């Protein structure tokens, strides 16, 4: 059986994601679509709107065959490490190809860029460092370095091009037997704040959901299965998640941490602990805090990731230990279709690492990070709902009831 891998967040699952699955099937000619999906917290440093189980169900309904969880240690990271974790997880699942959406929609510019980069890496690194020292944020610094080494056929200021480049880089550098494929993203801009089409950005859909609700406008952007999951989660959990709900917990946490302790947290570097402590004193809400804390250098996304790590008490040492040599210590299976079940029963003979279906028994120590992230995610629910939903994580069966 041939498998094609997708790197996803599905926050929430929308029409663009449906198109992605269908186009990837066609392009890869695979029998099985495997999605590696972030868990409770996402790459841009925020909680997902609904939990991973409801997102898994939406993905399976829309045609994915297997959903595995990208471990927290890779999920809440800059694109480089995020991509490494995702690609190596898919490699462990035995995929033959990985298909990603990009603004450019052709694979050659990615391959060419990685080749150019490899032959000019010293110069590239020097230029990045120089611009960082001049106060640029990381994306600006890398963009300037790309220009300086003569890469101009791939716009790496486009968010999906950046991620795609990281996937291709990982595949090529580690010499993995995976074919990179890309499809063009449909008419939307990743950062669009308002819904303009039936294929809209996840950002604009979240905004609509959280400020108004499941309006006609939002409904037109979502497959039926995703709408059901959004509704079911709201009925079960009482809320859709967003950062402001976590503000009291985060603020309390920061106010009880000494600066020295803060510096042990992953991402707290270069004196950031002082800025965090100082701005916390006057923060009225999460968005107010963001306005007070962010700078040209510390982008909102980078800061949000740091704040997620504070919230989950994730130390540098834990992340270093987990991600050294891009190891993937386990595969966490969230759900599968019948086709996915066939694939796994064949594949599991070929993989050396454990495939875990819940956190109940004989947890590898590494899973403590994922456990904490889950605990934090559900912390903002009423006790009844929290206890009920958390059970799926620790004793629930995987999601596999009736997906053909």
Task: Candidates 30, 95, 257, 399: give the one binding a copy of itself (CB under 8 A).
Answer: 257
22 binds a copy of itself (CB under 8 A): no
Peptide bond into 192 cis (omega under 30): no
Quick one: 5 or 71, whose CB is closer to a copy of itself? 71
Residue 291, phi-psi category: left (phi > 0), alpha (psi -120 to 50), beta (remainder):
alpha
Give the orientation angle of helix 286-293 with respect to helix 272-280, to 10 degrees.
130
Q: What is the C-alpha separation between 191 and 209, in angstroms, rounded?
A: 16
CA 328 to chain centre: 16
Q: Which range of residues in 28-36, 48-56, 106-114, 255-263 is near a copy of itself by CB under 8 A?
A: 255-263
Shortest Å, Cβ 292 to a copy of itself? 12
Q: What is the C-alpha separation between 58 and 224, in angstroms, rounded?
A: 9
Footprint on residues 234-253 left by a copy of itself (CB under 8 A): 248-249, 251-253
CA angle 157, 160, 166 (to 5 degrees): 90
Q: Determine how many CB atoms are found less than 10 A away from the CB of residue 120.
A: 16
DSSP string, 80-116: HHHHHHHHHHHHHTT-SEEEEEESS--SHHHHHHHHH
Q: Which range of residues in 76-84, 145-153, 336-344, 381-389 is near a copy of itself by CB under 8 A?
A: 381-389
Footprint on residues 55-114 left by a copy of itself (CB under 8 A): none
Shortest Å, Cβ 249 to a copy of itself? 5
266 binds a copy of itself (CB under 8 A): no
Q: Which range of residues in 122-130, 189-197, 200-208, 305-313 is near a copy of itself by CB under 8 A?
A: 305-313
353 binds a copy of itself (CB under 8 A): no
364 binds a copy of itself (CB under 8 A): no
Task: Candidates 216, 235, 270, 384: give the one binding a copy of itself (CB under 8 A).
Answer: 384
6 binds a copy of itself (CB under 8 A): no
Shortest Å, Cβ 244 to a copy of itself? 11
- Spatial contact of 193 and 182, defined as CB atoms under 8 Å apart: no
| Run of H or E including 78 | none
Would you tell me which residues interact with a copy of itself (CB under 8 A)?
A: 248-249, 251-253, 255-258, 281-285, 311-313, 368, 372, 375-376, 379, 383-384, 387, 390
């Amino acid at each position: 059986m041939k498998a094609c891998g997708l790197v996803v967040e599905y926050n929430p699952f929308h029409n663009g994601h449906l198109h992605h699955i269908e186009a990837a099937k066609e392009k890869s000619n695979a029998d099985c679509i495997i999605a590696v999906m972030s868990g409770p917290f996402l790459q841009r440093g925020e909680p997902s709107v609904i939990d991973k189980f409801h997102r898994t169900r939406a993905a399976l309904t829309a045609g994915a065959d297997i959903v595995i969880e990208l471990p927290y240690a890779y999920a809440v990271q800059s694109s480089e490490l995020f991509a490494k974790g995702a690609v190596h997880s898919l490699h462990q699942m035995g995929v033959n190809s990985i298909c990603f959406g990009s603004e450019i929609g052709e694979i050659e510019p990615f391959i060419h860029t990685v080749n150019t980069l490899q032959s000019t890496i010293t110069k590239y690194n020097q230029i990045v460092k120089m611009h960082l020292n001049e106060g640029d944020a990381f994306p600006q610094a890398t963009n300037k370095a790309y220009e300086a080494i003569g890469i101009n056929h791939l716009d790496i200021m486009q968010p999906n091009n950046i991620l795609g480049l990281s996937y291709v880089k990982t595949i090529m550098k580690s010499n993995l037997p995976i074919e990179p494929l890309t499809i063009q993203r449909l008419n939307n801009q990743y950062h669009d704040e308002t819904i303009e089409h039936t294929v809209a950005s996840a950002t604009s859909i979240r905004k609509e959901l959280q400020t108004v609700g499941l309006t006609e406008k939002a409904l037109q952007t979502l497959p039926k299965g995703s709408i059901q999951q959004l509704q079911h989660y709201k009925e079960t959990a009482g809320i859709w998640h967003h950062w402001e709900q976590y503000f009291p917990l985060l603020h309390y946490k920061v106010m009880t941490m000494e600066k020295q302790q803060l510096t042990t947290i992953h991402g707290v570097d270069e004196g950031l602990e002082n800025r965090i402590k100082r701005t916390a004193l006057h923060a009225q809400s999460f968005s107010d805090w963001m306005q007070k804390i962010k700078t040209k250098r510390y982008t909102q996304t980078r800061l949000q990731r740091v704040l997620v790590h504070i919230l989950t008490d994730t130390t540098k040492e834990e992340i270093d230990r987990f991600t050294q040599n891009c190891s993937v210590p386990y595969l966490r299976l969230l759900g599968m279709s019948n086709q996915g079940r066939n694939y796994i029963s064949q594949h599991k003979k070929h993989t050396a690492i454990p495939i875990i279906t819940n956190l109940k028994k004989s947890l590898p120590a590494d899973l403590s990070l994922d456990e904490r992230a889950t605990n934090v995610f559900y912390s903002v629910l009423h006790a009844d709902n929290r206890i009920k939903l958390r059970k799926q994580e620790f004793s629930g069966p995987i999601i596999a009831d009736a997906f053909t």
